Amino acid sequence: MPDLSVNFAGIKAPNPFWLASAPPTNSGYQIMKAFDAGWGGAVWKTLGVPVVNVSSRYASVNYKGNRMIGLNNIELITDRPLKDNLREMEEVKKYFPDHAVIASLMVESKAQWHQIVKDVENAGADGIELNFGCPHGMCERGMGSAVGQEPSVLKTIVEWVMEVAKVPVIVKLTPNISDITYPAQAAKEGGADAISLINTIQSLVGVDIDNFVPYPIVDGKSTNGGYCGPAVKPIALNMTKNCAQIPNYDLPISGIGGIETWRDAVEFMLLGASTVQICTAVMHYGFGIIRDLVPGLESYMIDKGFNTIDEMVGKALPNTKTWENLNLKYKVTASIDESKCIGCQLCYTACEDGAHQAIGLKGDEENRIPFIIDENCVGCNLCSLVCPVEECITMVQTDDGKSHNTWKERTEANEIPNDFNDERAGGNGHWIPEPKDALKKKR
């Protein structure tokens, strides 16, 4: 059996699946229940000077029958007194000494940072996470994402914390920034032991068009919130990769954002995360999802021959390049498996109107299977993405597999188009219908 245990910047846990700081970690009761179910760690709901929350607090994006593909919230940090949280934290640690309990913190002044760090350490926290990410409410008060968006301020606060912290310190980053690597660097310069990302993305998920107010509604009014759940995973993956590829960046990364299945978790790990944190999926389906996460990850590791989590961390990074390093000679062309095709012609419409007019119809109502016009196909993938039948359209390699030439190499050899009508334009000579042909074509 592979070893799922982790040592994340000195924080030990039986597995890499941690609850993110959020409603599922609001109390010792919930965290004990989660550990009992099999979770390896938990980042406590952010502690600080307690807030007063509004009602209602959440809104979601439901997409074509799928509930909550994105979740928006306008709740703040903990609304419970610190002493209650500390008492419960101590109790959790008594029952689960080998599980990771991390205290998420957000306060204003240096004195408050010093005080609360000592308080949570005394309560037995194995680590501390600094919440520099909350993009609503708290940022209006100069905390949360207001700090995460200012690398120099972030660094100063990390330094304050490091003056007193005895346990490892994780800096949780906000995605509400143009380049996540700046705060990631600042966290390192401030002396942090690790980073985690992402916190929520500032958002408005919709508007009540009858009453002219966005969701969620608080007495007829609303405000922007923080977006999370499956919809944000691509953004979180990219930011995780960006941080992991900072040259000489040796801080461990805890990946967060839209993780719901073991496969999602593996994707984060392959791009550089050595633990993962989960919020929305637990809010949606409960702590029980750990019963799929752990065995799923174990089977994957057995399948791939990984004995430890560390062996798989960052495995996809060498294959994740900048665009200029991709092979321009590599060519794929769409191919339709006629035995699987149901004749819906969605691929035709997509390619005809949204891509490169490389799919033809036979004009025969008895045989609605489209055909690929190979010489027009640029291999963009769109038809295979819209096709509702699994493996019906596949992309087949059509180059000889031997040539390799990148934009970077072409630039160095001065072989790139450099004026508006340069003959070396990639699409030069590629057949495109005349504009007036658009009026003749009726389906």
By a kind-dependent CB cut-off of 5 to 8 A, residue 272 interacts, out of ligand SF4, ligand FMN, none, with none
- Pairwise CA distance, residues 293 & 262, whole Å: 5
Contact between 278 and ligand FMN by CB under 6 A: the answer reads yes
Q: In the beta sheet, which residues pair with residue 218?
A: 221
Positions in the binding site for ligand SF4 (CB under 6 A): 334, 336, 341-347, 350-351, 355-356, 358-359, 370, 372, 377-383, 387, 389, 392-393
Looking at the Cβ atoms of 120 and 382, the one nearer to ligand FMN is 120
Which CB, 2 or 48, lies closer to ligand FMN?
48
Among 30, 73, 145, 149, binds ligand FMN (CB under 6 A): 73
Of the candidate spans 16-24, 332-340, 341-349, 358-366, the one that interacts with ligand FMN by CB under 6 A turns out to be 16-24
Residue 56 or 349 with smaller CB distance to ligand FMN: 56
Compute CA distances 27 → 22, 99, 144, whole Å: 10, 16, 21
Residue 131 touches which member of ligand FMN, ligand SF4, none, C-beta under 5-8 Å by kind: ligand FMN
Q: Choose among ligand FMN, ligand SF4, none what residue 232 binds, the Cβ cut-off being 5 to 8 Å by kind.
A: ligand FMN
Distance CA 435, CA 441 (A): 11
Residue whose pair of structure tokens reads 């029980």 in the numeric block:
288
Choose from ligand FMN, ligand SF4, none: what does 370 bind? Cβ within 5-8 Å by kind.
Answer: ligand SF4
Q: Report the 3 state secondary structure along the chain.
A: CCECCEEECCEEECCCEEECCCHHHCCHHHHHHHHHHCCCEEEEEEECCCCCCCCCCEEEEEECCEEEEEEEECCCCCCCCHHHHHHHHHHHHHHCCCCEEEEEECCCCHHHHHHHHHHHHHCCCCEEEEECCCCCCCHHHCCCHHHHCCHHHHHHHHHHHHHHCCCCEEEECCCCCCCCHHHHHHHHHHCCCEEEECCCEEECCCEECCCCEECCCECCECCCEEEECHHHHHHHHHHHHHHHCCCCCCCCEEEECCCCCHHHHHHHHHCCEEEEEECHHHHHHCHHHHHHHHHHHHHHHHHHCCCEHHHHCCCCHHHCCCHHHCECCCCEEEEECCCCCCCCCHHHHHHHHHCCCCEECCCECCECCCEECHHHCCCCCHHHHHCCCCCCEEEEECCCCCCCCEHHHHHHCCCCCCCCCCCCCCCCCCCCCCCCHHHHCCC
- Residue tagged active-site, from 134, 279, 347, 351: 134
Catalytic residue flag (residue 377): no
- Residue 334 site contact among ligand SF4, ligand FMN, none (CB < 5 to 8 Å, cut-off depends on kind): ligand SF4
- Interface of this chain with ligand FMN, residues 89 to 148, rule: CB under 6 A: 104, 131, 133-134
For the segment 215-254, give every residue that binds ligand FMN (CB under 6 A): 228-229, 232
Among the listed ranges 15-23, 149-157, 300-308, 422-430, the one in contact with ligand FMN (CB under 6 A) is 15-23
Tell me which of 30, 145, 174, 200 binds ligand FMN, using CB under 6 A: 200
Name the minimum Å distance from CB 65 to ligand SF4: 20
14-22, 174-182, 332-340, 358-366 -> range binding ligand FMN (CB under 6 A): 14-22
Residue 116 touches which member of ligand FMN, ligand SF4, none, C-beta under 5-8 Å by kind: none
From 17-25, 307-315, 323-331, 350-358, give the range in contact with ligand FMN by CB under 6 A. Answer: 17-25
| CB 174, min distance to ligand FMN, A | 10
381 binds, among ligand FMN, ligand SF4, none (CB under 5 to 8 A by kind): ligand SF4
Query: Judged by CB under 6 A, which of 136, 155, 172, 356 binds ligand FMN?
Result: 172
Closest CA to 18 of 46, 36, 42: 42
User: Tokens 């949570």 appear where?
Assistant: 120
35 vs 306, beta carbon nearer ligand FMN: 35
Which residues carry out catalysis? 134
Give the footprint of ligand FMN on this chain (CB under 6 A). 20-23, 45-46, 71, 73, 75, 77, 104, 131, 133-134, 172, 199-200, 228-229, 232, 256-259, 278-281
